[in-house]
Amino acid sequence: MAEIATIERIGQFVDEKVTLRGWLFNKRSSGKIRFLQIRDGTGSIQAVLVKNEVSPSTFAVADTVTQESSLVVTGVVRADDRAVGGHELQVSDIQVIQVAEDYPITPKEHGPAFLLDHRHLWLRSAKQHAILRIRSHLIQAAREYLHQEGFVLFDAPILTPTACEGTSTLFETDYFYGETAYLSQSGQLYAEAGAMALGKVYTLGPTFRAEKSKTRRHLTEFWMLEPEVAYADLQDILSLAEELVSHLVNSVLTHKSEELRTVGRDLDKLRLVVPPFPRITYDEALDLLRQRGMAMKWGNDFGATEDTVLSEQFDLPVMITHYPVQAKAFYMKSDPDNPNLALCLDMLAPEGYGEIIGGSQREDDYHQLLEKLAAHRLPREPFEWYLDLRRYGTVPHAGFGLGIERTIAWICGIKHLREAIPFPRMLQRIYP
Ligand code: NSS
């Protein structure tokens, strides 16, 4: 019996006989040789069958087997510089588990709607496979980084009684006894309770926004990483944000360079992502926009167009601080030097990718927070627990949320968020 190997680790088995368990990706033939491109989830490899070296029945399999048929292939691993990945498998035996029906996704071009309808199969394509491996690595790297920095994982609820990021994008559902529950827009408010209990915490989970916008940057279900720190101010989390983001980029560059090449990313652009990141205020950003002929009234938040233009001005992610309070959420602390400004930050990824982080120092004063709730027309009662955090040992604290899919889209250089999550949920899509 040959040892069961994975393509990822095939280099450890040069000149040894191994068994690979996978699927047929592609095939071609040339005279008395058959080339099967096999993928096994960890990578892909070319398996070579030579007519005189295998049994006639094994050789015949190569001619009948179809794209995405499941196969168990045994052979000797050969190092070969010309082969993709540097290795080939010289096949001695093939066991067909299932001959696949006509596979809908062929090597020819397909439109996005077709691919999204077949997302459950599209995941197997080389580019999608690479993006999802980068996603897995990025989340792992974020967890490890925060763990090393002394953060405690703190899981926030998904079903909540209140809004966090405004009432216009809430998904509503009936709860028991006539109550209404909302799908969480952000774990932040709960992370604040966590920070008061544990000091430094983070949440990582799915969040929901009933966004009616049909843009390439909006999902209705997306994942957010939210660190929250007690005894921290805006400056502290600006530093945390740039350290975290540069660590993530560097970690993907180090460990997932092959995948980045598969998605066609310009690695040199990513290598530039080293702190310090440029920091500008909202007013300075407004000036930059005006210089580029984009008239914007002071007081409004930047939209996708403004974010794109701003982020094209920098090679590094840029952090924009001190937005007008009226443009931002109720929980943000106002700047004591200018109460019209919020102590907040947005981080915009370069190359036109736009916002990947939103965060702030939090309003820690009980009376100020009451006023802010009223100004945003939010009811007081469901926020009583949140007000308690200001009644019992309130301290300055701050945090931010990093959008996982936006960060992946930027790092992978893909235009649309729908490829950065296994099953995207968008305005007009909940299938498959
Ligand atoms: O709305 S945010 O700007 N901020 C918050 O939710 C804070 N409560 C986070 C915090 O301070 N703990 O969203 C944060 C990030 C934003 O920068 C995007 O990267 C991402 O979450 N985000 C989204 N990604 C995909 N689709 C949608 N609709 C979306 N909305 C925000």
Whether the CB-CB separation of 354 and 348 falls below 8 Å is answered with yes
pLDDT-based confidence at 161, cuts 50/70/90?
Answer: very high
The confidence score (pLDDT) of residue 154 equals: 98
Question: Angle at CA 212, nearest 5°, toward 328 and 358?
Answer: 30
Q: What is the mean pLDDT of residues 276-298?
A: 96
Q: What is the mean pLDDT of residues 239-243?
A: 98
Only one residue has tokens 């926030």, namely 156
The confidence score (pLDDT) of residue 211 equals: 86
Edge-first strand order for the sheet with 180-183 is: 159-160, 180-183, 172-174
> Measured in angstroms, how far is the CA atom of residue 183 from the centroid of ligand 1?
14
Burial of 132-157, coded b for 16+ CB within 10 Å and e otherwise, reads bbbbebbbebbeebbeeeebeebebe
Ligand 1 atom nearest 347 alpha carbon: 17
**Interacting residues of 249 by C-beta distance below 8 A, sequence separation 6+:** 270, 273, 411
> Measured in angstroms, how far is the CA atom of residue 346 from the centroid of ligand 1?
10
H or E stretch covering 76 = strand 70-79
Whether the CB-CB separation of 203 and 284 falls below 8 Å is answered with no
Q: What percent of the chain has pLDDT over 70?
A: 100
Q: Whose CA is nearest to atom 13 of ligand 1?
A: 358
Ligand 1 atom nearest 185 alpha carbon: 6
Mean pLDDT (the chain, rounded): 96
CA 191, CA 237: separation in Å to the nearest integer?
15
Backbone phi and psi for residue 406, each to the nearest 5 degrees, phi listed first: -65, -40
Q: What percent of the chain has pLDDT over 90?
A: 95
> Measured in angstroms, how far is the CA atom of residue 275 from the centroid of ligand 1?
22
Q: What is the pLDDT of residues 298-343, one digit of tens each?
A: 999 999 999 999 999 999 999 999 999 999 999 999 999 999 999 9
Q: What is the pLDDT of residues 375-428, one digit of tens each?
A: 999 999 999 999 999 999 999 999 999 999 999 999 999 999 999 999 999 999
Residues pairing with 273 in the sheet: none
Residues lining ligand 1, CB < 6 A?
164-165, 186, 188, 209, 211, 218-219, 222, 224, 226, 355-359, 399-401, 403, 405-406, 417
Amino acid type, 218: H
The confidence score (pLDDT) of residue 309 equals: 94
Output DSSP code: residue 225. Answer: E
Q: Whose CA is nearest to atom 23 of ligand 1?
A: 403
**Interacting residues of 293 by C-beta distance below 8 A, sequence separation 6+:** none
Q: What is the pLDDT of residues 98-119, one digit of tens each?
A: 999 999 998 788 999 999 999 9
Burial degree of 295 (CB within 10 A; 0-12, 13-18, 19+): exposed
Q: Whose CA is nearest to atom 29 of ligand 1?
A: 218
The percent of the chain in helix, strand and coil, each rounded to the nearest 5, is: 35, 30, 35
Backbone phi and psi for residue 70, each to the nearest 5 degrees, phi listed first: -90, 135
The confidence score (pLDDT) of residue 214 equals: 84
Lowest mean pLDDT among 26-40, 204-218, 341-355: 204-218
Q: Whose CA is nearest to atom 6 of ligand 1?
A: 186
Q: What is the pLDDT of residues 117-153, one digit of tens each?
A: 999 999 999 999 999 999 999 999 999 999 999 999 9
Q: Is 122 helix (H, G, I), strand (E, B) or coil?
A: helix
The confidence score (pLDDT) of residue 107 equals: 79
pLDDT-based confidence at 85, cuts 50/70/90?
Answer: confident
> Measured in angstroms, how far is the CA atom of residue 404 from the centroid of ligand 1?
9
> Measured in angstroms, how far is the CA atom of residue 21 from the centroid of ligand 1?
40
Looking at the chain, how many residues does it have?
Answer: 432
> Measured in angstroms, how far is the CA atom of residue 197 from the centroid of ligand 1?
24
CA–CA distances in Å: residue 6 to residues 46, 128, 176, 238, 393: 13, 19, 49, 42, 54
> Measured in angstroms, how far is the CA atom of residue 357 from the centroid of ligand 1?
7
Residue 294 tokens read as 């984009």
Q: What is the mean pLDDT of residues 358-367?
A: 98
Given a cut of 90, is residue 213 above it in pLDDT?
no
CA 41, CA 58: separation in Å to the nearest integer?
23
Given a cut of 90, is residue 1 above it in pLDDT?
no
Only one residue has tokens 């300055």, namely 396
pLDDT-based confidence at 283, cuts 50/70/90?
Answer: very high
CA 258, CA 134: separation in Å to the nearest integer?
10
Predicted TM-score (pTM) of the model is: 0.97
Q: What's the N-to-C CA distance of the chain in angstroms?
A: 40
The confidence score (pLDDT) of residue 34 equals: 97
Q: What is the mean pLDDT of residues 40-59?
A: 96
Given a cut of 90, is residue 212 above it in pLDDT?
no
Ligand 1 atom nearest 360 alpha carbon: 11
